[in-house]
Amino acid sequence: MKSIVPFAILFLAVILQATLFKYIGSAGVFLNFVLVMLLYSVFYGKRFKITMFAAFLAGFLLDGLSGLPFGYLILAVTAAVFLAQALLSLVLGDSFWRFVFFIALGTALYDAVLLITLFLARKVTAAGVDFSAFGFALAIELALNIIAAFIFYPLRKWIIL
């Protein structure tokens, strides 16, 4: 029963990202609550396999609710979480500012991976990418995710995954 709770929370987080958090944002960019939650688990959690499984599940659910063809978000979320795990050794210590830096790093990684995935899938063309708009969107997303990091930091004693 206890092992179901983290996944129920993850399910709820995905639902909230597709509903409630759509109201909190600007110019079509909003808080990536699920990603922050996964990065939080990578930073404070200890279990690689379960975090990767959570990333896969989150991608699976996000894919279900998204207008994108199935599979792209699973790929993007798992790849971003894996890369964040791999780069974790660069972020020494677990102070608040290191956590904030890690969230920012993870957000940038996720956006880069998603853009590359969509580019490879020909859902986005090189000519169609407006890099100034992409940079602006990334800045808004970073700001919102960092605000979320402030909320998550006090919860570090309760590792979700």
Shortest distance in whole angstroms from residue 59 CB to another protein? 7
Instruction: Report if residue 91 touches another protein, rule: CB under 8 A.
Output: yes
Q: What is the rounded CA–CA span in Å between residue 123 and residue 99?
A: 33
Shortest distance in whole angstroms from residue 82 CB to another protein? 4
Q: Give the count of alpha carbons within 13 A of 104, CB side only.
A: 13
Exactly one of 136, 143, 146, 159 binds another protein (CB under 8 A); that residue is 136
Of 19 and 151, nearer to another protein (C-beta) is 19
Question: Using CB under 8 A as the criterion, what x/- string covers residues 20-39 for binding another protein?
Answer: x-xx-xxxxxx-x-x-----
Exactly one of 5, 86, 139, 155 binds another protein (CB under 8 A); that residue is 86
Q: What is the rounded CA–CA span in Å between residue 79 and residue 82?
A: 5
5 torsion bin: left (phi>0), alpha (psi -120 to 50), beta (else): alpha
Of 6 and 134, nearer to another protein (C-beta) is 134
Rounded to 10°, the helix 4-17/33-44 angle is: 150
Exactly one of 122, 128, 154, 157 binds another protein (CB under 8 A); that residue is 128
Q: What is the rounded CA–CA span in Å between residue 113 and residue 117?
A: 6
DSSP characters over 32-84: -HHHHHHHHHHHH---HHHHHHHHHHHHHHHHHHSSSPTTHHHHHHHHHHHHH
Exactly one of 2, 3, 4, 89 binds another protein (CB under 8 A); that residue is 89
Continuous segment of H or E residues that includes residue 25:
strand 25-26
- Residues within the interface to another protein (CB under 8 A): 11-12, 14-20, 22-23, 25-30, 32, 34, 43, 45-46, 48-49, 52-53, 55-56, 59-75, 78-79, 82, 85-86, 88-89, 91-94, 114, 121, 128, 130, 132-133, 136-137, 141
